[in-house]
Amino acid sequence: MENSVYPYIKYLQVTRNGIVYVLIYSTSYVDSDAFFCDIDCFKAFQYLESLDGLLSNFFTTNFNVRQLRTNKMVLNEIIDETLDFGIPQLTDYNLLHQYIKLKIEEEPQHNKDKQKSSSHLHNLKNLVTGNNVDTNIQQDATKFAPKEDIYLKSKIIETLNDSVSWRPKGIHYKKNELFVDVIEKIRFIQDLNKDSSKNIKYHQVEGSIMCKSYLSGMPVVEIGLINDMTFNIDRINQKGDEFKFHQCIQKIDTNYYQNKDGNKLVTFIPPDGEFELCNYRFDILRDHKSNDKAEIVQIVEFTKAFKEGSIKKLKMPSIKMNLKIKTYFKKNLVPEFLRIKIPLSSFIDDPNNIDLTFTPKFKTDFGTIIYNLSDDFLIWDCKNIKGNYGEKIYECYVQFQMLDDEIMKLKKEELRKQMDAPPLRNGPKLEKIHEDLQKNNLSTTEKLEKVNNNIQVEFEIPYFVVSGLKIDFIKVDESANTKYQFFSWIRYKTESQEDGYKFNATARLLTGK
């Protein structure tokens, strides 16, 4: 099920014959499970989400269904450790990757490797089930469970029963560091075909605070959050889908910053390694906060001008497109990339009527323009463009020559009458390249069904967040018996969601030109 706002349904629940089937959709595979009706489906969805994150961490490269089939033993052990009689248990990767010692095998490329892998997994299965195996195989299999692991597993079980179950004891680093990334993704949809001021259909910010902790002992970390947009930061009285914190959060102090109610002091004992401290979602349109925070990229004008052909001069008609944009972020910031995808259908009724025997003309005052012949769209690459809070307008111009059957016939007749050979053409023949690509592409009817006039914007801007959320300081509590020097690193980044920042626009026709 697809529409313009929600590209897919991520969660699905179906009840049949007293059994509840739950499913979540991921990019490379589907997680699903079946329960009887007395099972809490929300708990099942949460488990599937955690299982999705676990599998993504264990299978770091080429994560797909084939790799899961190749590593059935690993998958079975992950499920066995995370479920106990159908009840979710431990789903923390930082602890499970120390507990599960089976090696991840790459997808086999040849039949011999495939047979060797399957026989090896079969021997391991026999070893676990207690069937007869050769002594040589037993000696090789003991590598998966050395004597040192017995002590390690006992420490992990002890950690699970501890009040701080997400962090084992006895961690030591020569250099103590804490990396914090504040990452925000913007989803923005605006209908430029309407003149109303309420043409913004969707404006949402989804963010997360990602941490990498390399700290010794059991440190108590304090982070001060500056919340300029006064969104709710509270685990107890949350509004909607705003903030969701990791279980390691011990305290959220509202009295530390006395001048502002929105600012908080967050205290927690971090897990070892990489983890998500919190994630949040702000609906700027719903909370009426779009007045003081404009969009990252704004389309100021999108027009087209059609020039009629001349039968007397045997000159083909042409169409000219003009797009003007503004950027709304700090002047000293430069995005890693900023690309604007403009479909030809947004300003040309039928892209197949473009005469590619004449090279299209492109002009822009910043960046470059690329013409995608296979999918019929333009890409305006504005890398290294600077922010200016809407003070400067950037433009691009595109001109195509169009086909006209009557003028084409007259041109052919004129060439027949002339004794001279047709002029030679330099460079690639775009019309032939376009024809070959279209043959390998979708049929005309399928292509028309997928045509849309959405101008998509992709960007990634470092050192900038839209919500105004800032980290004031990071420190380790001195009263926690942890006295050492540590280094903290903070990074901010704002990016567009995949296919989530777009404008529904059709070029306005200019008359008299």
CATH code of residue 145: 3.30.450.60
Could you tell me if 465 and 207 are in contact, meaning their C-beta atoms sit under 8 angstroms apart? yes
Instruction: Tell me, yes or no, whether 326 and 399 share the same domain.
Output: yes
Quick one: CA dihedral 251, 255, 257, 263, positive or negative? positive
Instruction: Tell me, yes or no, whether 87 and 155 share the same domain.
Output: yes
Q: Tell me if 259 is assigned to some domain.
A: yes
How many whole angstroms separate alpha carbon 41 and alpha carbon 14? Answer: 11
DSSP, collapsed to helix, strand or coil, labels residue 408 as helix
Instruction: Tell me, yes or no, whether 18 and 124 share the same domain.
Output: yes
Cβ partners under 8 Å of residue 31, min gap 6: 23, 24, 48, 51, 52
Q: Tell me if 166 is assigned to some domain.
A: no
Instruction: Tell me, yes or no, whether 229 and 149 share the same domain.
Output: no
Q: What is the pLDDT of residue 32?
A: 54
Shortest CA distance to 81 belongs to which of 64, 97, 105? 97
Q: What is the pLDDT of residue 335?
A: 92
DSSP, collapsed to helix, strand or coil, labels residue 85 as coil
- Where in the sequence is the domain holding 376, given as residue range(s)? 297-458
Instruction: Tell me, yes or no, whether 422 and 311 share the same domain.
Output: yes
Q: Tell me if 4 is assigned to some domain.
A: no
Instruction: Tell me, yes or no, whether 419 and 485 share the same domain.
Output: no
Label residue 349 exposed, middle or buried (CB < 10 Å: 0-12, 13-18, 19+). Answer: exposed
Other CB atoms within 10 A of residue 368 CB: 12
Count of structural domains within the chain: 3
Digit-by-digit pLDDT tens for the chain (513 residues) are 344 444 444 556 666 666 667 666 655 455 555 554 456 667 777 777 788 878 877 877 666 777 777 888 888 888 887 887 777 777 777 777 777 777 777 765 544 444 444 444 454 444 344 444 343 433 443 344 444 454 455 555 555 556 777 887 888 899 999 999 999 999 999 998 876 666 888 888 899 999 999 998 889 999 998 876 655 554 444 444 567 888 889 888 877 776 666 678 899 999 988 899 998 888 877 765 544 456 889 999 999 999 888 777 778 889 999 999 999 888 888 999 999 999 999 999 888 888 888 888 999 988 999 998 888 899 999 988 888 877 889 999 999 998 888 887 887 777 777 766 666 666 677 777 777 776 666 554 455 445 578 999 999 999 998 888 889 999 987 555 557 788 999 999 999 988 889 999 888 888 764
88-104: b (≥16 Cβ within 10 Å) or e:
eebbbbbbbebbbebee
Shortest CA distance to 183 belongs to which of 458, 487, 489, 496? 496
Q: Tell me if 165 is assigned to some domain.
A: no
Instruction: Tell me, yes or no, whether 134 and 20 share the same domain.
Output: yes
Instruction: Tell me, yes or no, whether 310 and 286 share the same domain.
Output: no
**The 3-state secondary structure of 330-360, one letter per residue:** CCCCCCCEEEEEEEHHHCCCCHHHECCCCCC
Instruction: Tell me, yes or no, whether 332 and 250 share the same domain.
Output: no
Shortest CA distance to 100 belongs to which of 144, 148, 140, 164? 144
Q: How many alpha carbons lie under 13 Å from residue 103 in its C-beta half-sphere?
A: 13
DSSP state of 127: H
Other CB atoms within 10 A of residue 486 CB: 19
Instruction: Tell me, yes or no, whether 269 and 353 share the same domain.
Output: no
Between the CA of residue 37 and those of 12, 20, 83, 84, 85, what are the distances in Å? 15, 6, 18, 18, 16
Q: Tell me if 168 is assigned to some domain.
A: no
Q: What is the pLDDT of residue 193?
A: 84
Could you tell me if 504 and 345 are in contact, meaning their C-beta atoms sit under 8 angstroms apart? no
Q: What is the pLDDT of residue 117?
A: 44
Per the confidence metrics, is the pTM higher than 0.85? Answer: no
Instruction: Tell me, yes or no, whether 410 and 495 share the same domain.
Output: no
**H or E stretch including 6?**
none
